[in-house]
Structure 1
């Protein structure tokens, strides 16, 4: 359906500019007189709301002028009062808009959008009340050494995948089955090494310090790789239990 006149939504009902309707109906009398002669049968703040709109005058300047936001129902009745082809054309157009607006599928769609808006607003309010803890907060709260597997889980990865990632980013390399930091990182106090006896043989065990976790956090974040806790939560809104 081609747009005959601009229609918006206010307070969950369709509305439009009285001046736009006045111009579309090509009414001969002044706008203020047309309002005085016809608006008295309607109720202000229910059927119409006073506002202003802009117009360009002859010298190109923009001037504010009186206007009204009116409901579709009021617009339809005003069109009926104009006994000409324009009045009939606009009335038919408003009837089609009302029919589409009241279609069950459109009603469900608007309800879904309202639920989405309310859900977003609730999430914003909750975020204001309780700021979300960051991964950096967790690091600062911990003083213990961490094995690679634990840090990898923070990023939703296996230890192998995480080690391979650090290798790819030139943070560490493997030699003789042991991971070592590249020289630019090895003197930063990022890791602590110890030796354990496994099956009667000494085996080196490397753990990350909290300083090392901070270093990894900053390096990985520079590559848009962040811990799971800092990834955007995506909440799916359901209606009637159906996703």
Structure 2
């Protein structure tokens, strides 16, 4: 079948037509925006019969030589009705074309093809999800075999040994502070923030520092098993972005 007017598919997989292309095919003399306002006065509803889209067109007078204009993605039912409304040979031709498209779309062969395409897309999504989560699952096994909460230096070593994320203790400490997990300043610098302690990502192990003027109690930040898994996911995504 010859393609009189180009079509595409919306997010729901339905056939849609560019309002501007239909306007051009119908050879309507009224400017597009005025014409389309008149068309929707027939009872067409946004996000039901059509959606508003943007389209870039070449324009030497515009900044960068490109101008953005408003277009509309029309469902076939709306496009058919608009063809009927025109009462012209072009309108009749457009309507017949859309009817033929609809018959092809609803044919048993196309219904089966769409079902197979949908199933294939689901399989690809599942495979991607499994591949993405595998590294976190493997990391979870490592954590479950560890002695629970570990210090930041030990966590940095695991990230390097198991995932190739080259981040040492000091760099990881700075990242944890900058990312809002640890306190930045004051006597409690490098202590975990209470929110993440309550979330189960960190523990604070009491430490006694011996001084001539008297012992001082401090603390060492430890990353729990839950925190290791959560932070590993975030660090891996950050590491991938830096490599891309």
What interval of TM-score do these two structures reach, taking the shorter chain for normalisation? 0.5 to 0.7
Report the counterpart of residue 123 of structure 1 in structure 2.
127
Q: Which structure is higher in helix share?
A: 2
2: CA distance, partners of 1:131 / 1:124: 12
Structure with higher RCO (Cα < 8 A, 6+ apart): 1
1:54-87: per-residue Cα shift (whole Å, max 9, x none)? 2223658221111111111111111111111100
How does 1:80-229 map onto structure 2 within 5 Å? 80-131=84-135
Normalising by structure 2, we get a TM-score of: 0.52
Query: Could you say what secondary structure the match of 1:68 adopts?
Result: strand
CA contact under 8 A between 2:52 and 2:72: conserved in structure 1?
Answer: yes
Is 2:77 the partner of 1:73?
yes
2: CA distance, partners of 1:106 / 1:131: 39
Report the counterpart of residue 3 of structure 2 in structure 1.
3
Any runs of at least 4 consecutive aligned residues in structure 1 with deviations exceeding 4 A, and if so which? none
2:53 to 51, 54, 58: 51
1: CA distance, partners of 2:135 / 2:118: 25
Normalising by structure 1, we get a TM-score of: 0.52
Superposition deviation, residue 129 in structure 1: 1.5
The number of aligned residues is: 134
Gaps of 5+ in 2: 139-244
1:183-217: per-residue Cα shift (whole Å, max 9, x none)? xxxxxxxxxxxxxxxxxxxxxxxxxxxxxxxxxxx
